[in-house]
Amino acid sequence: MRTIVNVATGKTTIDRDWTAPEPTAEQVADQLAQYRAAASMSRRAFAILAMKEKWITPAEAKAWAPGNALPEVVTTSIFANYKTDEDRVEAEINASTQTVIHRNDELLIMLMAVKEVTPEQMDAHFSIPINTGNQNRTQ
């Protein structure tokens, strides 16, 4: 369905038979990438999520939410993925002072690998629509 407005007369017509064309696979992938680039949540919300998903313990969540300590999975991921002490310290400082967790954050991608979380599962946690096609969409 779409609404058509005649700019000369201001008359509105509703075309109930029109449906938006289905997006191409490339358009869907581009839209998903945009959603992921924009998605974020607070460190507090992510600590609670991580605890509920059993990625970290309740004690780790309580320490991580205010930025007092990093969970073991975070420090393990940092140690495994950063080769120099300087890079590891920088990553730990970034992780402990970051107040917003972005969906595309490098550390989050590492945690997903360690905890075997699929991109689609993480998308759901960040409220990213899994299917970005036109199902049930009107224009």
Distance CA 7, CA 12 (A): 9
**Mean of pLDDT values over 64-78:** 95
Its pTM surpasses 0.85: no
Can you tell me the mean pLDDT for 31-39?
A: 94
Nearest to 132 by CA among 21, 1, 31, 20: 31
The mean pLDDT of the chain is 90
- Residue 133: band (very low, low, confident or very high) from pLDDT cuts 50, 70, 90: low
Q: How far is CA 115 from CA 16, 45, 108, 129, in A?
A: 47, 18, 10, 22
Q: Which of 22-26, 70-74, 78-82 has the lowest mean pLDDT?
A: 22-26
